[in-house]
Structure formats: C-alpha cells, structure tokens
Amino acid sequence: MKPIQLFDTASSTYTYVAFDPVTRDAIIIDPVDTQLERDLQVLREHRLKLVWALETHAHADHITSAGQLAELAGAKTAAPAGCGISTASVQLNDGDTLAFGNEQVRALHTPGHTAGSMCFVWRDQVFTGDTLLINGCGRTDFQSGSAEAMYHSLTQVLFKLPDATTVWPGHDYQGKTRSTIGQEKASNARVAGKTQEEFVAIMAALHLPPPKRIDEAVPANLQSGLRHDAHLSNSLRVQPADGYAGDVSGVLAWEWVQSGEAVLVDVRSDAERAWVGFVPDAPAVAWKQWPGMASNPNFDAELQAAVPAGKKVVLLCRSGVRSIAAAKRATELGLQAYNILEGFEGDPDSNAQRGHQGGWRFHGLPWRQG
Ligand SMILES: N[C@@H](CCC(=O)N[C@@H](CS)C(=O)NCC(=O)O)C(=O)O
Ligand SMILES: [Fe+2]
C-alpha cells in the first residue's frame, strides 16, 4: 500500500494522499493552494472521503490549501502544535495519532527545519516533510530552524525507524521521488557518517537564498492558507480615526513592532493577561478606568515611560474598545497612537462581517498562555 504522490513544479513540493482501501477515508499531507483543483479531482477519481488535511510545518515557499480543503471537502485540519498554525482544528504533539478509517498516522516531532516540524509514520513508511530529504535535509537557517535540532531529529528519531521504512520527502529539487531510511542512513551527503559538528558546519555553509514567497507564505500558512490577498491588503491598511492616528489590524501592528517602528502596549488588566494570554515582551499599562476593574492613576506616566521618543504606539485591549480610549489619551499626551482593531480576542465570525480586520489570536500572531 503506497500513498498517491503529487508534485507541484513551481515549488517542487510533494503532496501525499493516503487512504484506507476499504472505507476510502483519506488524508492529505502538505497540499498546495495552486493545486486545489487537481487534488479535489484526485479525491473524486479515487472515490475518497478526505478526513484530515495535515501539515508537516508552516511552509515558507508556498501557501497551503488545507483551510480550503477543510471547507470544500469536509476535512479537518491538523498541524504540529509548535508551528503556531492557530486555525488548525487539531494541534498535534509528539506521538499523537490520527485515524482515517482503519488506518492511522503517528506524529513524530522532528525540530530542525522549523522548531515545530513533524514527520508522519504510516505503516512501514514515513512522510518526512522538510526534515529528511533525499540525499539532503531541510534548511535550518530561518523560521526557528536549528542545525543541532535537525541533527538530533535525523539521527536519533528518523534513523531509529526500521531501515526498510520508505521515505516520502516534502520536496525534491532533482526529480527523485522516494528513498528508504536505510539508504539515507548509509549515504545521505549531509548527515551519513557525520558528527554533529560536521553537520552544523555543512548547514552553516549552504548560504541558500531565502524562498521567494516567504513573506507572503508564512503569514498565510499560519492561518491554514485562508488569508486571501484582499484580506491581506485590508489587514495591512491604516484606517484614519477621530482623535488618534488610526485603526490598524494586529497583523500591521505586529509588522511595526518587529521592524522597531512601534511599541505595542497592552492596556488590559493584570488579571486578564493572566487568564487569557499575553503578547510576549509587550509592556502592560492598564487603562486608567474600566468598570469593575481597579483604576490605574499612573496610566499617563507609565505609558510615556513605555514609548521611546520617535516611536509609534499601538494599543491592545480585549475587544478594541478600551484601546480606543487609550489611543485618544495617548494622542493628548503627544504620542502617535493607533488602536488595534478587535483587540486580543477578535473572533473569526465578527472578523468575517468586518472584512477580517483584526483579532490578535485569530491572526495567529505570537502570544502565550497566561
Ligand atoms: N528556491 C525555493 C526555496 C527552496 C528552499 O529553500 N527550500 C527549503 C524547503 S521550504 C529547503 O529546506 N531546502 C533545502 C535545500 O535546498 O537543501 C523558493 O524560492 O521557493
Ligand atoms: Fe519548508
């Protein structure tokens, strides 16, 4: 029993469909958005019912169709828990299994290409994503990659599988289609017979150009590919506002924070951040008055201390109401202040009505559990 192997020439990506021959329940691994029609046709031709659309990691070189497949084919999406793909309905941890009919795949956490990357074992075969490639391996120079972690994942996780295990890679750039664990253990140019130090040196010397579509692909893939262009341009626009510089989406606010243009100030209370979650490294300055919460008489001074001269301030609250009041006050204090639309917890439904503007968590932006 082999999977159906499909190839996208633009990104040299392999997509796989595996299925239970009796029940016809199927999974698809690493589907590509531009191949949606092809993949739906393959499902129809083989009379398959898609139950899972799976990702090995958040791709940097193409956009996934997992979200669209979920809508069009009724599948559920699953992705590695460590990849920040907040829209996936199942977040996979090491050792988790997903059933399709009487078949199952088992997730192996194999960090290295990205910190969250996973491989999926099915019967006597393994889908290795961008961890193990044929006579190669995924690059480790961006997106939380680590050559040390990759060495461990290759030698201590994948190479512990039986030698006869078939390897189905996530890409091949030379037209090769499959390998085995035994073959890669014996002859993979990057890792076979190499010490960790030698491997790390090889990876450091690759100097590959960044994938052409990385800036567009990663944010889209953090939402299972559901962020369309219109939505993207909408979410990257400043909307002028009365009494402060403007309204911005979480996506744009976070771009400004990362580029050093702006400081993100969280105006929720300590208790809210502790219950719901917080944005790492964002200064917290509770808004001065809010019904049912302790008032903060030091708001003005704390806000001014949090924002260095010359920087914008983007203000975040739970739903985007307090942050408007805070942005107005910040403007009175002489700051260039923006409100983050729909705050930390903008939900997909309200976003749909408003044209997908905001919502920190909905956009898959970085945050931690309180
Ligand atoms: N040239 C390709 C990027 C190729 C690339 O960086 N591929 C990644 C996988 S997303 C990789 O790990 N390549 C390993 C290698 O080339 O050795 C593009 O612009 O999209
Ligand atoms: Fe990749």
- How far CA 248 is from CA of 219, 239, 243, in Å, comes to 17, 6, 14
pLDDT digits (tens, 9 = 90+) for 130-185: 999 999 999 999 889 999 999 999 999 999 999 999 999 999 999 999 999 999 99
- Provide the pLDDT for residue 292: 66
Query: Higher model confidence: residue 262 or residue 237?
Result: 262
> Counting atoms of ligand 1 from 1, which one is nearest the CA of 62?
20
Q: Give the orientation angle of helix 66-73 with respect to helix 36-45, to 10 degrees.
A: 40
Pick from 32, 34, 173, 188 the residue to mutate for probing ligand 1's pocket: most ligand atoms within 8 Å of its CB: 173
In whole angstroms, give the CA distance from residue 163 to residue 20: 24
Q: The whole model's pTM is what?
A: 0.67
- Choices 3.90.1150.10, 3.40.50.720, 3.40.250.10, 3.20.20.140: CATH for 229-354: 3.40.250.10
In whole angstroms, give the CA distance from residue 103 to residue 8: 26
Separation of 228 CA from ligand 1 center, angstroms? 23
Which residue from 154, 160, 126 is spatially nearest to 138, judged by alpha carbons?
154
- Choices 3.50.30.50, 3.40.1410.10, 3.60.15.10, 3.40.30.10: CATH for 4-204: 3.60.15.10
In whole angstroms, give the CA distance from residue 279 to residue 262: 14
> Counting atoms of ligand 1 from 1, which one is nearest the CA of 61?
20
Query: Higher model confidence: residue 370 or residue 268?
Result: 268
Mean pLDDT computed over every residue of the chain: 91
Q: Where are the domains of the chain?
A: 4-204, 229-354
pLDDT category, 120, cuts 50, 70, 90?
A: very high
- Provide the pLDDT for residue 348: 47
Q: What is the mean pLDDT of residues 208-228?
A: 87
pLDDT digits (tens, 9 = 90+) for 219-260: 899 999 986 444 445 566 788 899 999 999 888 898 899 889
Which ligand does the CA of 214 lie closest to? 1
| Ligand 1 near 171 CB (within 6 A) | yes
Which ligand does the CA of 59 lie closest to? 2
Q: What percent of the chain has pLDDT over 90?
A: 73
Separation of 12 CA from ligand 1 center, angstroms? 9
> Counting atoms of ligand 1 from 1, which one is nearest the CA of 171?
9
- pLDDT of 349 > 70? The answer is no
Q: What is the mean pLDDT of residues 276-299?
A: 85
Which residue from 68, 99, 96 is spatially nearest to 80, judged by alpha carbons?
96
- Provide the pLDDT for residue 70: 86
- Provide the pLDDT for residue 355: 43
**Residues whose CB is less than 8 angstroms from the CB of residue 14 and which lie 6 or more positions away in sequence, other chains included:** 5, 6, 7, 8, 30, 168, 169, 170, 171, 172, 177
